[in-house]
Amino acid sequence: MIPTSFQIRDLTIRPAAVLAPMAGVTDTLFRRVIRGLGGCGLLMTEFTSSDGITRSAKKTLRYLYFQEDEHPITAQLFGANPAVMAEAAKMVEDLGYDAVDINLGCPAKKVVKCGGSGLLRDLPLLEDIFKTVRAAVKIPLTIKLRAGWDENSIVAVDVAKMAESIGVEAVAVHPRTREQGYTGAADWSIIAAVKQAVKIPVIGNGDINKPEDAARMVRETGCDAVMIGRAAATNPWIFYQMQQFAETGRYDIADDEIRYRLLMGYYKQINAANLPDGVGKMKQFACWFTHGVGNGSELRRIVHAARTPGEVLESVERFFVGRFTAAEKDDRSAVATNEGRVDERVDRLAVTQNVDRAAVTRIEDPAHGPAREHDRFEATLGT
C-alpha cells in the first residue's frame, strides 16, 4: 500500500503523496484546492525560470507566491546556468519554501534549450549545477528527472547516483524519455532501478490514474512515495481517494454535484483574483476536469466560447443547474410512482422551485462531509 509518510532529511511528508509541478496548473489557487481536499503530503509550484527569478521579473515571481497553509511546499526551478540557479535557489529559501527542486524532466522545446530534460544530455554541466545549488542553500534539495533523452540514453540511475553523492536529498522519477513526451507507457522498472541504486527517497511518477495504480507502483518499484500530475487536474480528489484506499480498500467517487461545487468554487477564486490569464486558466482547467462530468464535451464547448471570467461562471452555472433541475423532475416522477416515497435527493434539491447555489452548496460530499469554511480558499494573491 501507499506509505503513510516519508522523510526528506528532517522534513516529514505525510501522506507519502506529492502533487507534481505542472505549468499553468499548480498555482497557489489550485494547490490550495488540493490541500483542502486532503491526502496530499507535499505541494510543488509550477516549474519556474531561475533567470526570471534573479531578474525579479514580476510574472515569474508571481509563480512563487504561496500561503502559509500550503506547507510543506517545494519550489521547482529550471535553468542551465549554475550560478544563476544557485542565486534563484537562495531566493526561494529566503521566501520560506521547505525545499527546492531542480527540473530535469520538462520536454518542451523552449525549456530544453535552457534546462529541463535537455540537461540529461550534459552530465558534467548537471554535476556543476548540483554542486553549486547545494552549496547555496540549507533547505533540502531534490530533483525531478526523466528516464533519459531517448531510448538509447537512459541515464536516470547514473544521474540519481551522482545527485546523491553531491547532497541531493530526494529524486522523483518520471520513467519516460524526453523523446516520448507523454506518449507510450511509463517504464516503472526504471523507478525500481533507481530505488535499488540510491539510499535517498525515490518518488515514483507516471501513469497513476487511480488509487490502485499508486498502490501497484509502490508494490512493483519499492518507491518511497508517489507523485501525481495530470490525474490530479482531471480528478482533484485522487489524493484523498488514495488515502481512503490505503485505509479501507475502497474510495468514494465524486458525482456531478460535487464536481459542480468544486469547479464553481475554483472559478470564483480565479475571477476574484483578477488574474491576467484568468480566462485562459479557466479554459485550460475545463479541458482536464470536465472529462469526468456527464456530457463534458458540451461543458467544454460552453467554457471555450466564453470571453470573460464572468461569462465562464454564468455558463457553468447554467449548465449544471439545468442538469440538476432535470434530475429533480425525474426524481419527482419516480416519487409519484412509488406511493409517495420521498427520495432523499429530491429532499435536498427541491428546497426551491429552481436549484440555486445555496442549495447546491449544502450538499455533502460523501468523502469529506459538509463544506467547511477552510475549504472556501480565499483568493488573495500577492503582488
Q: Which residues contact 50 (CB under 8 A, 6 or more apart)?
A: 77, 78, 79, 81, 84, 85, 87, 88, 89, 115
Cβ proximity of 257 and 360 under 8 Å: yes
* 93/162 Cα distance (integer angstroms): 23
Q: Cα separations (Å) of 5 from 199, 229, 367? A: 16, 19, 21
Q: Cα separations (Å) of 86 from 23, 32, 74, 79, 174? A: 22, 28, 15, 10, 24
**Gyration radius of the chain's alpha carbons:** 22
Among the options 40, 106, 114, 223, which is catalytic? 106
Write down the H helix ranges in 1-122: 28-37, 50-54, 58-62, 82-95, 109-112
Q: Which helix (H) or strand (E) holds 104?
A: strand 99-104
Beta strands in 220-331 (DSSP E): 225-228
Nearest to 209 by CA among 191, 190, 187, 226: 226
Cβ proximity of 79 and 88 under 8 Å: yes
**Residue 223 falls in the annotated catalytic set:** no
Task: Give the residue numbers annotated as catalytic, written as ranges.
Answer: 106
